[in-house]
């Protein structure tokens, strides 16, 4: 059962997956929101305070994007060329460049909600010469809103399933199935989107 995971393990994942999205390009393969959703579910079960999930996810997301920004500033978009071939297939570098050129710091906020963009926008922002202060504020605001939104989605999703379990006898397996479906749909959408871009 997800709620039985040790709180320190859950919080570690809630921090690490968002932190590794842009800093290591892991987000091209494993979306960070998966761990934050699980954190919200565990918070609903009483295993963690919801504020701790939001704060940890925000810290991880902001740190990872800040590292991505600094990598882009130091090495330019060439850093994306070092991603594994399987990850490079998901890159939509031109879309990210257009978004950053048109929207500036707002692109950091918008990109936060699209998995592939969330991974590469910080790097593109750094490579494009966006001011550190502009990126920093947008990164903090975007990370906080994203972390709170995804954690609340997990929290209230678990509340809905708890209600269904009580009223209809649907067990914990339904919750696990929903989380698996969310992850699978996210991966399918990324692959489908990358095929259409070719």
pLDDT greater at residue 188 or residue 43: 43
> What totals of helices (H) and strands (E) does the chain contain, helices first?
9, 0
Number of domains observed in the structure of the chain: 1
Q: Identify the sign of the CA torsion 106, 111, 112, 114.
A: positive
Q: Which two tokens stand for residue 133?
A: 């202060």
Residue with tokens 């906080």: 144
- Separation between Cα atoms, residue 10 and residue 143, nearest integer Å: 18
Q: List pLDDT tens digits, range 51-93.
A: 999 999 999 999 999 999 999 899 877 776 666 565 556 566 7
54: in domain: yes
**Structure confidence at residue 134 (pLDDT):** 93
Range of the domain at 47: 2-191
Confirm whether 198 is domain-assigned. Answer: no
Note the pLDDT tens digit of each residue in 10-33: 999 999 999 998 888 777 677 888
The Cα 3–Cα 195 span in angstroms is: 37
Task: Indicate whether 156 belongs to any domain.
Answer: yes
Arithmetic mean of pLDDT, 149-157: 89
Is the model's pLDDT at 167 over the cut of 50? no
Secondary structure (3-state) at 13? helix
Measured CA to CA, the distance from residue 58 to residue 68 in angstroms comes to 15
The pLDDT tens digits of the residues spanning 173-198 come to 555 566 667 767 777 776 666 555 55
pLDDT band per the 50, 70, 90 thresholds, residue 168: very low
In a domain, 197, yes or no: no
Give the C-alpha distances (Å, rounded to integers) separating 169 from 9, 90, 172, 173: 29, 40, 10, 11
Residue 68 maps to a domain:
yes
pTM: 0.76
The count of residues in the chain is 198
């Amino acid at each position: 059962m997800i709620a039985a995971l040790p709180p320190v393990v859950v919080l570690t994942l809630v921090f690490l997956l968002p932190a590794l999205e842009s800093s290591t390009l892991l987000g091209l393969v494993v979306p960070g929101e998966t761990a934050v959703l699980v954190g919200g579910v565990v918070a609903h079960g009483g295993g963690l305070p919801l504020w701790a999930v939001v704060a940890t996810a925000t810290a991880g997301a902001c740190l990872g994007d800040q590292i991505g920004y600094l990598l882009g500033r130091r090495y330019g978009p060439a850093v994306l060329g070092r991603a594994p071939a399987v990850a490079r297939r998901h890159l939509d570098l031109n879309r990210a460049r257009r978004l950053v050129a048109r929207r500036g710091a707002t692109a950091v906020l918008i990109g936060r909600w699209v998995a592939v963009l969330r991974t590469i926008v910080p790097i593109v922002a750094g490579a494009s010469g966006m001011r550190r202060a502009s990126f920093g504020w947008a990164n903090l605001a975007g990370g906080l809103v994203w972390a709170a939104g995804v954690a609340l989605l997990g929290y209230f999703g678990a509340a809905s399933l708890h209600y269904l379990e009580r009223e209809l006898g649907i067990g914990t397996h339904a919750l696990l199935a929903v989380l698996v479906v969310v992850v699978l749909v996210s991966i399918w959408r990324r692959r489908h989107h990358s095929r259409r871009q070719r």
